[in-house]
Structure 1
Amino acid sequence: MFGTQTQRRELSNGFTFHRPYWRSTSINSRDNPNSITTTIARKIPTLSVKFQDIYGFTVEGNIDDVNVLNEVRERVREQGRVWWALEASKGANWYLQPQISSMSEGISVGSLKLSVLANTISLRKLVRKGIPPSLRPKVWLSVSGAAKKRSTVPESYYDDLIRAIDGKVTAATLQIDHDLPRTFPGHTWLDTPEGQASLRRLLVGYSFRDSDVGYCQGLNYVAALLLLVMKTEEDAFWMFAVLLENVLVNDCYTDNLSGCHVEQRVFKDLLAKKCPRIAAHLDVMDFDVSLVTTEWFLCLFSKSLPSETTMRVWDVLFNEGAKVMFHVALAIFKMKEEELLSTFQIGDVIDILQTTTHHLYDPDELLMVAFDKIGSMTTNTITKQRKKQEPAVMAELDQRLRRLNSLKMDEK
Structure 2
Amino acid sequence: MTDPTWLAAQRRALVTFAAKAADPAGGFGWLDASGGRVAEQPVATWITARMTHVFSLEHGLGDPDAAALADHGIAALRGRLHDDQHGGWFASVADTTKAAYEHSFVLLAACSAHAAGRPGAEELLTEALEVIGTRFWDVEVGLPFESWDRAWSTTEAYRGANSTMHFVEAFLAAGDVTGDKIWHQRALGLAERIVHVTSAAHGWRVPEHFTEDWRPDLDYNSSNPRHPFRPFGSTIGHWLEWARLLLHLEATLGEDAPAWLLPDARALFDSSVRRGWGVDGYLGFVYTLDWDDLPVVRERMHWVIAEAIMAASALRARTGEDPYADWYVTFWEYARKHHIDPVGGWRHELSPDGSPSAGVWAGKPDTYHAYQATLFPTLPLSPAAALAVR
What TM-score do the two structures reach when normalised by structure 2?
0.30
What TM-score do the two structures reach when normalised by structure 1?
0.29
**Bigger Cα Rg:** 1
Greater helix proportion: 1
